[in-house]
Structure 1
Amino acid sequence: MPRLLSASLIGRLPTGMAPLAILLTVREHGGDYRLAGLLAALYAGSAAVCGPVLGRLIDRTRQAPVLLASAATSTAAFLVLGLVDPVRSVAVGAVAAVVAGAATPQLEPCLRVLWEHVVVGEHHVRAAFSLDAATQELIFVCGPLVVLGATAFGGPSAGLIAAAAVGLLGAVWFATARPARAWRGTRVERHWAGPLRGAGVLRLFAALVCVGATIGAFTVGITGYAEVAGNPSAAGWLIALNAAGALVGGLAYTAVPVAHREDRRLLLLLALLALGYLPLVLVLNIPVMAVFALLSGCALPAVLASAFALIARMAPEGTLTEAHAWMITSFGVGNALGSAAAGTLLDLVSPAAAFSLATAAACASTALALRRLLT
């Protein structure tokens, strides 16, 4: 378990590194923020679209070969993106960004599929899901720090080269672990819709889109709030406190007993998530907002851990890796939509409107779970 979790976190660091590394590389070559944003969006978008495709391939074959092949492809694309001038060769940079994202190794879905094979007992499997969800925060805390460290020694482009190196290291370490090498896809009758045909699955994914929108709106809203409050640097600390709350909440949730009905547990947790973001709408002074930022993050890992456990029961046989990949895509799409909408609200209205959007999205996720997801 320590090896799989550690390797997964290291291999997924490029997700937290790529946006900043791309920005620094483009700016180094004299490009503007519009080009940097375009390349970052191409990377994230292709990862979201192709994740379920790779997940389906893994479900039908094995984990190790697909992980190693995708890691090698993504690494090569990161190297190209770091070594060429993306301003003079926009097309090459765009293709490299798309390939780097599309070939992102599906370490996160593979890890969640393996938990039931390496952890004994339902309670311990749920605890592993919670620990997994909590430690995800480290990717987005440590990823930018690794980029800054690499660029301090090797210049702005070193961030992308570092992303290539750590991504390959983590994927190889994970794929060569015995559980990953031993895992085989289930031979069952295939259906073009994969896990999407499962009862309640689409509603669960829609709820995760709303959860992602909550987080995206919060991140943009808290940044705008800090600027309006006259202390732009506070945004980093407030976002870090939100992540710290998530880490604490996730670790605490590992001790919670297994739910009799996981869908009812998820409904309660989604309601707590909405309740956690509601006080931010008041837009109080920074010390009070710091407390609320910490508290608002606490429920997220529990929500994700419950969703992980639920999809394991809802996904049709032989589609679990793809189902987990769809969960990641759903959350990522929601995050992007929430960020975009919150940015518009910041420009037109106020930070309070962005926080209201975050709360409304969390309430929408709760509403989607009101009707039972399990039959």
Structure 2
Amino acid sequence: MATEAQASGGYRDILRAPHALRLLTGTLVGRLPNGTGPIATVVFTRAEGGSYSLAGGLVAAYGVATAVGQPLLGRAVDLKGQPRVQLPAAVLSALGMAALAVAGIGNIALAYAAIVVAGLFTPPLEGGLRALWPSVLGREDRVHRAYALDAVAQEVMFTVGPLLVTLLVAVWSPAAALLVINVLGVLGALSVVLSEPSRAWRSEPREAHWLGALRSPGLLALLGSFFFVGLALGSITVAGLAYADDRGHAAAYGWIMAAVGLGALVGGVLYGARHWSGSPEKRLTVIVGLLALGYVPLMLTPGVVPMTALAALAGVFLAPALACGFIVVDRHAPTGTVTEAFSWLVTTFGVGAALGSAVAGPVVELAGITAGFSVAAAGGLTALLVLLATGRALAAPGRSVRHAVSDVGGHAGHTEKNTHSSENDRNGAAQPGFSSGHQA
């Protein structure tokens, strides 16, 4: 049984690797605009006298634009490298938000155009970081632990980010909050792309195919499952608010959502504390099953204190599911498409969350709070069913990641090459649609 001391020791080992702390920190700071964009936009719109409908419309436009832009920019990164895509995208995204902050909402068309630009050019830093881990960390077990650390760090960002927006609004103004957050985002992206691993990273040559990463059946299966995980989480954000309103306890909403994040933090730390053997695809199915099971007790809607505890339980298997999902993405992404593949995961998860929020609202109004939380339970169960139904596709990854690490010119950089999985070696052939090498 892994202990907390083992977990912290393992994470320290990751962060002590050359460039690792800089890349993780730069990526988190660079993603602040995306993580805080919706709440900052709502606060700004309301401060400018806009309606909730306008605020919701702008946030929806931002979400759709981000969903469209991520895989396209991810593919561009795989083709052109990280610095030539990530930094220009970060600057353009920041300029879009700056245009909204300066021009305000007096011209609705301009406001929508500005926020669409901001979303469309959101740099795929998340996928880019996961593509860099093998070259930075070398050993496969360290890369897998880094995926767990990555999932935990996301929960920290989504907790700290809104607090930072609140502080900036209180100290300056909603417009200043938009500007500062996006300046920080550009600085974070700059820190990443100026690092040696980012400048040196190159994707393996890819097979020309219009579907890109989506030609992998296993990746499609994973994306289908995580769409419903996102749907479950999105529904909790609405059902939780309805629960707090019904109890006449406004602070309960913050407690519930913070508890989900805390549960994910604890789960991610414990998951990354130990070395896992066996197929990650089978492990993911078990974890998603436990995640789905954790959503069911929310339908009991007890008092605020036990409800907060149930929310923490519901979050425990979220970060492990993400961390294990990252491994599966890496194993199933076709050669030369790793950044695009990770970007598709971000997009699919986000679209599912948006749909979950949209569905839960009418369900709560028509059938009550318990029914609202049942959307989360249904989403988790469907995510599990997708994995069970696509087991054959998931059981045949294109490759298993192995890392051959060497010093580059006496510096701290690394190179790595991925080879076929042992299963493919035994069969004497690769899975269809994959070539012999893959750099992630």
Report the TM-score when normalising by structure 2: 0.83
CA contact (8 A) 2:93 2:119 kept: yes
Distance in 2 of aligned mates of 1:259 and 1:93: 51
1:27: which partner in 2?
A: 46
Residue by residue over 1:248-291, the C-alpha shift from the partner in whole angstroms, topping out at 9 and shown as x without a partner, is 11111112323311110000000010111111111111111111
1:279 to 297, 307, 316: 297
1:247: which partner in 2?
A: 265
For the pair 1:235 / 2:235, whether they are aligned, the reply is no
> How big is the shift at 1:228?
1.1
Report the TM-score when normalising by structure 1: 0.97
Q: Secondary structure at the match of 1:157?
A: helix
> How big is the shift at 1:164?
1.5
Q: Which residue type is aligned with residue 105 of structure 1?
A: P
> How big is the shift at 1:176?
0.8
> How big is the shift at 1:91?
1.2
2:406: which partner in 1?
A: none
Distance in 1 of aligned mates of 2:202 and 2:153: 26
How do 1:249-264 residues align onto structure 2 when only pairs under 5 Å count?
249-264=267-282
> How big is the shift at 1:29?
2.1
Q: Which residue type is aligned with residue 218 of structure 1?
A: I
CA contact (8 A) 1:78 1:163 kept: no
**Further displaced range: 35-44 or 95-104:** 35-44
Distance in 2 of aligned mates of 1:315 and 1:155: 43
For the pair 1:374 / 2:392, whether they are aligned, the reply is no
2:173: which partner in 1?
A: 155
For the pair 1:109 / 2:130, whether they are aligned, the reply is no
CA contact (8 A) 1:126 1:258 kept: no
Q: Which residue type is aligned with residue 23 of structure 1?
A: V
1:311 to 302, 305, 329: 329
> How big is the shift at 1:358?
0.3
Q: Which residue type is aligned with residue 240 of structure 1?
A: A
1:79: which partner in 2?
A: 98
How do 1:22-61 residues align onto structure 2 when only pairs under 5 Å count?
22-61=41-80
> How big is the shift at 1:346?
0.9
> How big is the shift at 1:224?
0.8
> How big is the shift at 1:204?
1.0
CA contact (8 A) 2:295 2:314 kept: yes
Q: Which runs of 4+ in 1 moved over 4 A?
A: none
How do 1:337-348 residues align onto structure 2 when only pairs under 5 Å count?
337-348=355-366
1:335: which partner in 2?
A: 353
For the pair 1:10 / 2:29, whether they are aligned, the reply is yes
Identical residues among aligned pairs (%): 41
2:146: which partner in 1?
A: 128
Cα RMSD (Å) of the superposition? 1.1
> How big is the shift at 1:304?
0.7
Tell me which structure has the larger Cα radius of gyration: 2
Residue by residue over 1:154-194, the C-alpha shift from the partner in whole angstroms, topping out at 9 and shown as x without a partner, is 21211111122111111101111111111112223210001
Distance in 2 of aligned mates of 1:353 and 1:27: 30
Distance in 2 of aligned mates of 1:137 and 1:350: 29
Distance in 2 of aligned mates of 1:120 and 1:186: 17
**Further displaced range: 19-28 or 58-67:** 19-28
CA contact (8 A) 2:207 2:335 kept: no
**Further displaced range: 196-205 or 4-13:** 196-205
Distance in 1 of aligned mates of 2:224 and 2:286: 17
2:288: which partner in 1?
A: 270
Q: Secondary structure at the match of 2:174?
A: coil
> How big is the shift at 1:240?
0.4
> How big is the shift at 1:199?
2.5
1:70: which partner in 2?
A: 89
Distance in 2 of aligned mates of 1:261 and 1:112: 20
Q: Which residue type is aligned with residue 26 of structure 1?
A: T
Q: Which residue type is aligned with residue 46 of structure 1?
A: A
**Further displaced range: 307-316 or 114-123:** 114-123
CA contact (8 A) 2:26 2:192 kept: yes
Gaps of 5+ in 1: none
> How big is the shift at 1:38?
1.0
Distance in 1 of aligned mates of 2:172 and 2:50: 19
Aligned residues: 374
For the pair 1:139 / 2:157, whether they are aligned, the reply is yes
Q: Which residue type is aligned with residue 375 of structure 2?
A: L
2:435: which partner in 1?
A: none
Q: Which residue type is aligned with residue 207 of structure 1?
A: S
2:241 to 209, 213, 223: 223
**Further displaced range: 288-297 or 195-204:** 195-204
Q: Which residue type is aligned with residue 366 of structure 2?
A: L
